[in-house]
Amino acid sequence: METIIIVIFVIGYLGIALEHPIRVNKTATALVTGVLCWTLYALGGTDIHIIGHQLQEHLGEISAILFFLMGAMTIVELVDAYQGFRVITDRINTQNPKKLLWLICSVTFVLSAILDNLTTSIVMVSLVRKLVPDKSMRLFFCGMIVIAANAGGAWSPIGDVTTTMLWIGGQITAGNIIQSLLLPSIVCMVVPLLVLQFTLKGTLGEQAPEAAKKSSEQRVRGSTTMLVLGVGGLISVPIFKTVTHLPPYLGMLLALGVLWVVSELINPDMDESEKKNFSAAHALTRIDVPSVLFFLGILLAVGALQSMNILSSFAGWLDTALGDTRLIVSLIGVLSAIVDNVPLVAASMGMYSLDTYPADGLIWEYLAYCAGTGGSLLIIGSAAGVAVMGMEKIDFIWYLKRLTLLALLGYAAGAITYLLLQG
């Protein structure tokens, strides 16, 4: 039965990786894979009560991640509904391409650590559309947004879903991951920017009159308040966990609750039909539910393999074959450009025990960096990349020719920086 479950998991993994060619949404594949793995495990198991208990334990861990993500997504959508991000983006107005690129990437890097790399990429690409009319120049900006967003998300416990998974799972702590990965992540972004400083040629292009008028559009009342509360709520989650020692999702739900109350009171004179679009209830309808269900499916599948001790056996084989966990994690980072980094990190968490590799160990910090930034090597290697690819119709081959090498240089430079800092 174990062999059949492994085969189903591999087929499901391939289905997720080949989502676009086979035209089957990865969420559907992940859900089917996760349920089938547990079903076959139950049918082939000797004690259904033990299996049921294992499933409950894994479901508790998975739910903590899902509630955390749903809370964070809703907060971001609520701030966006109030045009809170315009408070930041409207202040960017330079016409120098190289200076603007540094500015855009720096803002992306910081925002992705506070929000998440996917949302930040969407916000920044929307901004770049207004600031960079020239299509060929805009593609370089969008590619660097992907690299900067993934680098910015890697060092923050709330910036990338894989880092969040490691934080909630107890493999890393918030303060330590920030301290350990901030410099390597900066290097990962700066190295490609330095190369483009000498190779980037062209102009931003001329704005159409209509585009220039958009910046003067009336802003929604309360945008600054919602931005401050939203960002403050997100930043306070690690502090909440440190002070109370309660699970992070409780801090995230508390922040959402506070923002929800404020959103109900902030515009008392607004018409009810109009106010509906600025409510938390409406924001909940806009969150990426398929992604939440994808995490549920893939984490269920990985949980089944972990309960059967398949992942720990595979980890032992890797250690014997390659001998160095740093090399293994580096390869995981490169592989995350081809295969979704969520199942890769979930599998790694199941492969290596906290008893053997304690919290804040090199393997967990380095995994957070590699899985977070390795997806930048290909445009399809991260959620941020896929979103930007869809928004700007970036060709896979164009990105491969013009930005993959830059992303690889940044990835390698950041990895070397981290390993040197660790001695």
- With beta carbons less than 8 A apart as the criterion, state whether 163 and 154 touch: yes
Within its chain, how far is the Cα of 396 from the centroid? 20
Nearest C-alpha neighbor of 250 from the set 71, 116, 56, 61: 71
pTM of the model: 0.80
Q: In this model, does residue 269 exceed pLDDT 80? A: no
- pLDDT at residue number 208: 54
Residues 6+ apart with CB under 8 A from 86: 219, 223
Q: In this model, does residue 218 exceed pLDDT 70? A: no
pLDDT tens, residue by residue, 61-113: 889 888 988 888 898 888 888 888 777 777 777 778 889 999 999 999 999 99
- Percent of the chain whose pLDDT exceeds 90: 33
Give residue 176's pLDDT band: very low, low, confident or very high (50, 70, 90).
Answer: very high
- pLDDT at residue number 8: 93
Mean pLDDT of the chain: 86
Q: In this model, does residue 54 exceed pLDDT 70? A: yes
Q: In this model, does residue 350 exceed pLDDT 70? A: yes
Nearest C-alpha neighbor of 318 from the set 361, 351, 269, 271: 351
The torsion defined by the Cα of 403, 408, 410 and 416, in degrees rounded to 10, comes to: 180
> Roughly what angle, to the nearest 10 degrees, separates helices 325-335 and 404-422?
160
- pLDDT at residue number 37: 92
Look at residue 423 and give its three-state secondary structure. coil
- pLDDT at residue number 217: 54
pLDDT tens, residue by residue, 7-49: 998 898 888 878 778 888 888 998 999 999 999 999 987 788 8
Q: Where are the alpha helices (DSSP H) in 18-160?
A: 19-22, 26-44, 48-81, 86-89, 97-114, 117-131, 135-154
Within its chain, how far is the Cα of 58 from the centroid? 22
Tokens linked to 107: 């803002």
The CA distance from 297 to 346, in Å, is 12
The CA distance from 303 to 61, in Å, is 10
Mean pLDDT to the nearest integer, 221-250: 88
388-412 b/e (C-beta count within 10 Å ≥ 16 → b) = bbeebebeeeebeeebbebbbebbb
The CA distance from 161 to 294, in Å, is 12
Neighbours of 105 (CB within 10 A): 24
Give residue 207's pLDDT band: very low, low, confident or very high (50, 70, 90).
Answer: low
- With beta carbons less than 8 A apart as the criterion, state whether 226 and 263 touch: yes
Of 50-54, 190-194, 380-384, the one with minimum mean pLDDT is: 380-384
Neighbours of 63 (CB within 10 A): 14
Neighbours of 22 (CB within 10 A): 13
342 vs 89, more confident: 342
Give residue 211's pLDDT band: very low, low, confident or very high (50, 70, 90).
Answer: very low
- pLDDT at residue number 35: 95
pLDDT tens, residue by residue, 254-265: 999 999 999 888
Longest CA–CA span in the chain (Å) reads: 72
* CA end-to-end distance (rounded Å), the chain: 44
Nearest C-alpha neighbor of 131 from the set 106, 107, 102, 96: 96
17's enclosing H/E stretch is helix 2-17
